[in-house]
Amino acid sequence: MYTCKRKNMTSTALQSIKALGKSRASCTDVVRLAGGLKLDDSEDALVAREIICKAALDCGKIVLAIRMLGELERRFPKSQRVALLRGMVLEAEGKFAQAQAIYQDLVAQNQSNLAAPRRIAALTRDGASANAAAQELNKLIGDNFADVEAWMEMADLQLSQAAFAEAAYCLEEVLLANPYHHACHTLYGEVAFTFEDKQGRAYFAQSLCIKPQSNPRAAWGLALCCAAEPLAADDNTKQLRAKALAMLRALYARSDMLGLVEKVLAQLDAAP
């Protein structure tokens, strides 16, 4: 009976790890579930090892990642998917040249492998100039124009260089591919606000429509956009400002920062 109960607990943990992997939850949640878990060679356990390995790398648990990788390599010694994990572990260990060699070999073996070029682009951005990173990302986007993550990475790179027009173009491509990407709407609103473009508030508002809860960045953006415009200039401005301020008060209602937030909101509410 004890053995049966333990198997049920293991199965439940494996399903939870797989669910967390699909939802891209916090790496600490995955690592916590993996603690003390004995994995067999079932399909669920193998998938869980990959998820645990990636989560451990995100959390800096290199020893756990290496253990998961070793178990996968023993089962799949020639797997390209496992080889990609090997490269990621080498990155975490600071062995960037070895990691890049693995990624380049993976690309040579399979031109349709998109994960390896992404890692090459990430390595280039970390260790080379912005121009070199942009070239790698251009190659990646050229091979797969609908790669939303590559466009977002390119937008972030352009923003780091204060190239706002180029960043806006990248974000537009993301929104064309995924119009429900609330974070991209928020980021585009921030770029537009930097240009003093009144359309910025429309993107903040759309972000809040897509994700009305736990979206303070968009709420602050909408409040600032509305505060920057005279209330008499647009009938919608007053309503949008009131909505944004109400959202922010609700977000910080139980926070220790409520007093400070209220002072800022009072200044925004008093804007002409």
Q: Looking at per-residue confidence, does 172 or 16 come out higher?
A: 172
Question: How many Cα atoms occupy the beta-carbon half-sphere of 49 within 13 Å?
Answer: 22
| pLDDT computed for residue 144 by the predictor | 85
Single-letter code of the amino acid located at 153: E
CATH number belonging to domain 78-172: 1.25.40.10
Find out whether 56 and 62 touch, Cβ atoms under 8 Å.
yes
Q: Which residue has the higher pLDDT, 5 or 181?
A: 181
How far, in Å, are 184, 186, 210, 225 from residue 179 at the CA level?
9, 12, 10, 21
Cβ neighbours of residue 226 closer than 8 Å, sequence gap 6 or more: 201, 237, 238, 240, 241, 244, 268
Tokens of 76: 């799949």
- Within 10 angstroms of residue 160's Cβ, the number of other Cβ atoms is 12
Contact between 55 and 46 under an 8 Å Cβ cutoff? The reply is: no
DSSP state of 215: -
Residue 214 tokens read as 């736990």
What band does 239 get if pLDDT is binned at 50, 70 and 90? confident
3 pLDDT above the threshold of 50: no
**pLDDT tens digit sequence for 37-61:** 677 777 878 888 888 899 899 888 9
Give the position of tokens 């180029």. Answer: 166
Please state, in angstroms and rounded to a whole number, the distance separating the CA atoms of residues 31 and 223. Answer: 38
The model's pLDDT over 111-158, given as tens digits with 9 standing for 90+, comes to: 888 889 889 888 888 766 788 888 889 988 988 888 898 999 999 999
Length of the chain counted residue by residue: 272
Name 227's Cβ contacts closer than 8 Å, sequence gap at least 6.
Answer: 241, 268, 271
